[in-house]
Amino acid sequence: MSADALSTTFAALADPTRRAILARLASGEATVNDLAAPFAMSLPGISKHLKVLERAGLISRGRDAQWRPCRLAAGPLKDVDDWVGRYRRFWEESFDRLDAYLKELQATEAKAEPPPAQEKKHGRKK
């Protein structure tokens, strides 16, 4: 995926309304009216969000007579996941190094601590 396409995808994902639309479409296709229902927004407002998602390649719109269903097109999300995956590996390796260092510190501290003092028993009978 080119940097421009990745930027377009991230720009489309930057808006919470568009992310909510994608979440809804993940469960199946829907009409514009279906997608607009949970939002306090006009149909033209929802249509603008759909156009942004369509330009980013995140949705496709079909035509079935008067019905124009919208469908999730997850290809660009895979490209985002691949891009983020490189950084995920970086953080996982960093956390693994931190974990190893902390275990080393704990082992060093355990060796340096004197053994716990034992309680003295007084020869009393109970």
Q: Where are the domains of the chain?
A: 3-76
pTM over 0.85, yes/no: no
Q: Which residues of 76-108 are buried (b: 16+ CB within 10 A; e: fewer)?
A: bbebbeeeeeeeeeeeeeeeeeeeeeeeeeeee
pLDDT tens digit at each of 126 positions of the chain: 555 899 999 999 999 999 999 999 999 999 999 999 999 999 999 999 999 999 999 999 988 767 789 999 999 999 999 999 989 888 899 999 999 999 999 988 888 777 667 666 666 665
Instruction: Pick one of 2.60.120.700, 3.40.50.1220, 1.10.10.10, 3.40.50.2300 as the CATH number of 3-76.
Output: 1.10.10.10
